[in-house]
Amino acid sequence: GQNIDQPTEMTATEGAIVQINCTYQTSGFNGLFWYQQHAGEAPTFLSYNVLDGLEEKGRFSSFLSRSKGYSYLLLKELQMKDSASYLCAVRLPMTTDSWGKLQFGAGTQVVVTP
């Protein structure tokens, strides 16, 4: 089976930094996505890592280690609007009957407090 684990909830103060970890054990790997999802809304694309290392996009950074089956999303200078669920998703390899579908973790609810 496919296992993608991330913490259920994290709380941090406005202005602080939070790191959301994601570990995965899947039958193959073709990239890892992070999405942000506010309550009642659709997921919004944040990052896509296919090679090892850190990718930075403004206040958000994402890291990948394929050998360790590990990724993290780093949120800096937290703002109240960052309160949301953050979804880690692994893209599985293409097969004859499946095109690289995404397998999602359960999501991490980040609560930003004043």
Partner 1 sequence: SAVISQKPSRDICQRGTSLTIQCQVDSQVTMMFWYRQQPGQSLTLIATANQGSEATYESGFVIDKFPISRPNLTFSTLTVSNMSPEDSSIYLCSVAGSGGYETQYFGPGTRLLVL
> If binding is defined by CB under 8 A, does position 8 make contact with partner 1?
no
Shortest Cβ 15–partner 1 spacing (Å):
29
Site map 54..93 versus partner 1, x via CB under 8 A: ---------------------------------x-x-x-x
CA distance 107 to 97: 27
CA distance 89 to 104: 4
Instruction: Work out the number of other CB atoms within 10 angstroms of the CB of residue 57.
Output: 9
* Three-state secondary structure call for residue 8: coil
Shortest Cβ 112–partner 1 spacing (Å):
20
Residue 45 or 114: which CB sits closer to partner 1? 45
Residue 13 or 27: which CB sits closer to partner 1? 27
Phi, psi of 82 (to 5 degrees): -80, -10
